A = this chain, B = another copy of it.
Amino acid sequence: MRRALQLAALGDGRTSPNPLVGAVVLDAGGRLVGEGFHARAGGPHAEVGALAQAGDRARGGTLVVTLEPCCHQGRTPPCSAAVIAAGIRRVVLAMADPHPLVAGGGIARLRAAGLEVIEGVAEDEARRLNRPFLHRVASGRPLGVLKWAMSLDGRTALPNGASQWISGQAARGWVHRLRARCDAVIVGGGTLRSDDPLLTSRGLRHSEPLRVVLSRSLDLPPQARLWSHEAPTLLAHGPGIPAQKHALLEQLAARGVTIAALPACEPAALMEELARRGCNRVLWECGPELATAALRQGCIQQLAAVIAPKLLGGLPAGTPLGDLGLEQVSEGRPWSHGLLSRIGDDLVWELSAPAEPRG
């Protein structure tokens, strides 16, 4: 199972809306005869790859797989049928697939065909691996990661607005790798106006994450680099387009930007839109106002703070977040430690949300 989990992780950032899945086939004598993983949505499932590699040697053998084999015809045929057809005797699973089209149906089908099914092996690890997929299936929203870079005194900009570069080159490279693991990268109009960012993984992700601009005013620079750079781009706005903005939207649509009208120009509505578009994990790289709204609407499950060993100061200078409405320090409950890394001169601290829902 450890090997199957390693294989599954190889697909990270490329399988959405599907989960990460890894599979290993052992022959009747317990020898490893096949390995597979789900490498991209629409591509073969992990079980199919592993069974194909094993061929006849799968007969009477064991399939070890990180997620329940599917039982529905999607872009590929149901895996449970393929497992049965290959003559597998025993299936060892990390966890059932909570997706409503599966949800135990694959396991039932295997058992009905007389196969032994062992569930729950390394389930915690498998759940951690597929946290974004599981979060989307459970909540209808992608998992949200909020990233910011700040100085050691908690500043994201100088009083004059200057913000490039607070973190070092190595940490900026780490952010590109983080983007490569996300299905979308979100900013607001303010960040677009002030930073003119590209928001790509710089080629680290095979198809770049969807760049998303959430804008209420649609007061957006027509010459932003985002619009012309070749990567998928979505402009999301609320109901009611100001009359003088129709021309801009037409112009951007003509340049390949997807325009999405949300029922409300709010983070929560955007999350539901992005879940419909197949996003499991999205990265918020926005300014304090939008970040605060996203937090307050429960759209952030993980934090990644890049902390540079510099002092910027300045009472009117930028800080990562706006008002959270707290009255007591004790209301700011601790986030859970994930990973702490020194990247170049900078610290990167990754954390997960407190167990109970926030705000």
Contact = CB atoms under 8 A, between A and B. Distances in A.
Nearest to A157: B329
B322 A315 contact: yes
A163 interface: yes
Contact of A314 (B160, B295, B323, B336): B323
Nearest to A152: B305
Contacts of A325: 313
Nearest to A148: B153
Contact of A313 (B152, B155, B322): B322
Contact of A322 (B164, B314, B328): B314
A35 to B, nearest CB: 37
Contact of A335 (B309, B319, B321, B324): B309
Interface in A299-326: 303, 305, 307-315, 317, 319-326
B327 A323 contact: no
Interface stretch (A192-200, A263-271, A339-347): A339-347
A241 interface: no
B305 A313 contact: no
Contacts of A320: 153-154
Total copies of the chain: 2
A336 B320 CA distance: 23
Given A154-B150, A342-B340, A310 B323 contact: no
A342 B351 CA distance: 13
Given A319-B154, A340-B347, A345-B334, A164 B329 contact: yes
B319 A155 contact: yes
Interface string A266-309: 00000000000000000000001000100100000001010111
Contacts of A351: 152, 309
Contact of A312 (B288, B308, B329): B329
Interface of A: 150-155, 158-160, 162-166, 168, 288, 292, 295, 303, 305, 307-315, 317, 319-330, 332-337, 340, 342, 345, 347, 349, 351
7 tightest A-B CB contacts, nearest first: A154-B154, A313-B324, A310-B332, A313-B321, A309-B335, A153-B321, A153-B320
